[in-house]
Amino acid sequence: MTNPLKLALIAATASLLALPAQAHRGWLLPSATVLSGSDLWVTVDAAVSNDLFYFEHNPLQLDNLSIEGPDGKAITPENVAKSHFRSSFDFKLAQPGTYKLTVANQGLFASYKVDGQNKRWRGKPEELASAIPANATDVKVTESRGRIESFVTSGKPSVETLKPTGVGLEMVPVTHPNNLVAGEKATFRLMLDGQPAKGVAVEIVPGGIRYRDALNDTKATADETGTFSVTWPAPGFYWMSASVRDDKSKIKNAQRRSSYAVTVEVLPQ
């Protein structure tokens, strides 16, 4: 006779295997990305979650938040708050043009063994030499540099804030990020340390993962010039991300991981 409990366990296992793999995604979500008028404000939610754009994991740390105005000058965020699942802040669009929101993080991580036991460490580059014991084995060091961005435009779009810094992995829009329309193709360029990030894979995920069975993500690959294109299937917020691993860290014997993620809004035709 078949064991009912065994059948239930098999069914549950099969159900779990059928679910899409979960991944923690960091993001910035403006209350609006295209505005017009006077006395304009935007509220931005910031979180790390499995479901876009739903609060269920951790708030995004805003220690390294920057807001660049259309004239290239820094803007101070207001009403900065941190709750259990999300962070948030406001900023005023005091002048017309495009604003860039960025959370840029850099970290150093190491794993090693001491007397057969696994150990982990994270900290600053200047602390590395004294942090790992001389008798450590299987030492692996990784430098991590990441950028999470979004763009907001008041009135006519501008391009001053679209310029790259030349550090780490960045996206340089060819199509303005606040001029995206469903059914139309948009083009972007990935840069790594100011050079084309050729061959890098890009993931594009529409928001609302929580309310559908499939991730509905699409893939693109940057060409020799770092360029890739996306044709938007529907309006809404989208999250695009890319990452690169290489041995170009300035820290001795360290691998480097550079990542980039951006939230963009696609408007209906």
Mean pLDDT for the stretch of residues 12-40: 72
| pLDDT, tens only, 184-206 | 999 999 999 999 999 999 999 99
- Measured CA to CA in angstroms, residue 14 lies from 9, 19, 228 at distances of 9, 9, 37
Verify that 123 and 88 share a domain, yes or no.
no
Please give the tally of structural domains in the chain.
Answer: 2
| Reported confidence tier of residue 213, pLDDT bands at 50, 70, 90 | confident
Is pLDDT at 15 greater than 60 in this prediction?
A: no
Is pLDDT at 8 greater than 60 in this prediction?
A: no
Query: What pLDDT sits at residue 252?
Result: 82
Is pLDDT at 78 greater than 80 in this prediction?
A: yes
Verify that 130 and 239 share a domain, yes or no.
no
The verdict on residue 18 lying in a domain is no
Verify that 48 and 126 share a domain, yes or no.
no
Verify that 57 and 116 share a domain, yes or no.
no
Is pLDDT at 20 greater than 90 in this prediction?
A: no
CA 74 to chain centre: 21
The verdict on residue 3 lying in a domain is no
CA pair distance 93, 91, nearest whole angstrom: 7
3-state secondary structure of 201: strand
| pLDDT, tens only, 84-94 | 999 999 999 99
Mean pLDDT for the stretch of residues 81-105: 97
Verify that 114 and 245 share a domain, yes or no.
no
Tell me which residue of 13, 249, 9 sits closest to 142, measured CA to CA.
Answer: 249
Verify that 129 and 247 share a domain, yes or no.
no
Verify that 211 and 249 share a domain, yes or no.
yes
The whole-chain average pLDDT of the chain stands at 90
| pLDDT, tens only, 107-130 | 899 999 999 999 999 988 888 888
Strand runs labelled E in the chain: 25-30, 34-35, 40-49, 58-59, 65-68, 78-82, 87-93, 97-114, 117-123, 137-154, 169-173, 185-192, 195-196, 201-206, 218-221, 227-231, 236-246, 254-266
Verify that 193 and 102 share a domain, yes or no.
yes
Verify that 124 and 113 share a domain, yes or no.
yes
Which strand (E) or helix (H) includes residue 14?
A: helix 4-18
Structural domain including 113 reads 109-139
| Reported confidence tier of residue 23, pLDDT bands at 50, 70, 90 | low
Q: What backbone torsions phi and psi does residue 193 show, to the nearest 5 degrees?
A: 55, 35
The verdict on residue 135 lying in a domain is yes
pTM of the model: 0.86
CA pair distance 19, 182, nearest whole angstrom: 28
Query: What pLDDT sits at residue 129?
Result: 82
Decide: 218 and 204 in contact? Cβ < 8 Å. Answer: yes
Verify that 113 and 235 share a domain, yes or no.
no
Verify that 187 and 250 share a domain, yes or no.
yes
Verify that 227 and 238 share a domain, yes or no.
yes
Beta bridge partners of 42: 91
| Reported confidence tier of residue 9, pLDDT bands at 50, 70, 90 | very low
Is pLDDT at 44 greater than 60 in this prediction?
A: yes
- Please state, for a pLDDT cut of 70, what percent of the chain lies above it: 91
Ramachandran category for residue 199: left, alpha or beta (phi over 0 → left; psi -120 to 50 → alpha): left
Query: What pLDDT sits at residue 220?
Result: 97
| pLDDT, tens only, 62-76 | 999 999 999 999 999
CA pair distance 65, 71, nearest whole angstrom: 18
